[in-house]
Amino acid sequence: MATAEGLDASDPQALLELARRARRGDSAAFDQLVLRFHRPVYRFCWRMLRTSNSEDLARETFVRAFVHFDRFDPERPLLPWLFAIARRLCLDRLRREHVMARGAEGSTWASPWAPTTRARPAP
């Protein structure tokens, strides 16, 4: 897959160069990385969630990656770093949905400090 700059985005050396440029703030290089990795990140999110939210979380993964790209080590593979971001986002979404579902069912969460209402055994 050739990029606008003539780099082959499937070549590991070309990906390394794109990552280095994106880390320095080159938005065109970052756009090329998004084009290259959007599909695997989306599939990863889909496997975790199995919902239409997968597309939103794939996009959010790249937003977070862009904001925090200074934390990425361009000498390491990019896809595992993106998967780690996507995984955290998916787990957060699953937790929120679980909490909302429990609330919708009318179940209550008992605080460990709340008084209990268990009867005492008869003497």
Span 13-25, pLDDT tens digits = 999 999 999 999 9
Q: If we measure between CA atoms, which residue out of 89, 90, 102, 84 comes closest to residue 49?
A: 90
d(CA 37, CA 17): 15
pLDDT of residue 6 exceeding 70, the answer is: no
d(CA 59, CA 65): 10
pLDDT of residue 118 exceeding 80, the answer is: no
Indicate the pLDDT class of residue 109, thresholds 50, 70 and 90. Answer: low
- Per-residue pLDDT reduced to its tens digit, 47-106: 999 888 899 999 999 999 999 999 999 889 999 999 999 999 999 999 988 776 666 555
CA atoms within 13 A on the CB side of 45: 26
The pLDDT of residue 105:
56
Unique residue bearing structure tokens 């990906």 = 15
pLDDT of residue 10 exceeding 60, the answer is: yes
Specify the CATH class of 37-104 in words.
Answer: mainly alpha
* Average pLDDT in the chain: 82
Q: If we measure between CA atoms, which residue out of 18, 12, 44 comes closest to residue 31?
A: 18
The first and second tokens of residue 70, run together, are 């200074």
Contact 78, 37 (CB under 8 A): yes
